[in-house]
Chain A
Amino acid sequence: MAKVIVVTSGKGGVGKTTTTAALGAALARTGQKVCVVDFDVGLRNLDLIMGAERRVVYDLINVVQGDAKLPQALIRDKRLDTLSLLPASQTRDKDALTDEGVARVIGELREKFDWVICDSPAGIERGATLAMRHADIAVVVTNPEVSSVRDSDRIIGLLDSKTERAEKGERLEKHLILTRYDPNRAERGEMLKIDDVLEILSIPLLAVIPESEEVLKASNLGSPVTLNAPQSAPARAYADAVRRLKGETVAMTVPSEKRSLLGKLFTRRAA
Chain B
Amino acid sequence: MLLLIISVFIVGFAILLLRPAKDSKYFKFLSILPFSLFLYFLYFIPEIQSGQNSLIFENQWIPSLGISLDFKIDGLSLLFSLLITGIGALIYLYASSYLNKDPYINRFYCYLTIFMGAMLGLVLSDNLISLFMFWELTSISSFFLIGFNTTNEESRKSALWALSITGLGGFFLLASFVMMNSITGTFSIQELLSQSEVLQSNYQYYVLIAFFLLGAFTKSAQFPFHFWLPGAMKAPTPVSAYLHSATMVKAGIYLIARFTPILSDGEVWNFVLMSVGGTTMLVGAFLSVFRVDMKSVLAYSTISALGILVFLLGIGSETALLAAATFILVHALYKASLFMVTGIVDHETHTRDLTVLSGLKKKLPIVAVCAVIAALSSAGVPLTFGFISKEIIYGSTFDFDYWTYNSVWILTALVLVTNVFLTSAGLLVGIRPFFGKLPEKFENIHKPDYKLWLPIVILSVFTLLFGICPFLADQGIISSVTTSILRSSVTQELHLWHGWNTILLLSGATIVLGTMLYFVIKPSHRTIERFDKLNEIGPKRIITIMANNIKIFAFKYTRFFHNGYLRSYILFIIVFIIGIVGYKLFSDVTLKINTNDLSPFRIYEFVIFVLIISAITVITLTQSRLTAIVSLGVVGLSICLIFVVYGAPDLAMTQFAIDTLTVVLFVLVLFKLPAFLKFSNTKNKIRDVIVSTAFGILIAMITLQALVYPSNKEVSKFYAENAYILAKGKNVVNVILVDYRGVDTMIETIVLSIAAVGVLSILKYKTEDEERRE
- A and B associate: no
Which residues in A have some Cβ–Cβ distance to B below 8 Å?
Answer: none
Which residues in B have some Cβ–Cβ distance to A below 8 Å?
Answer: none
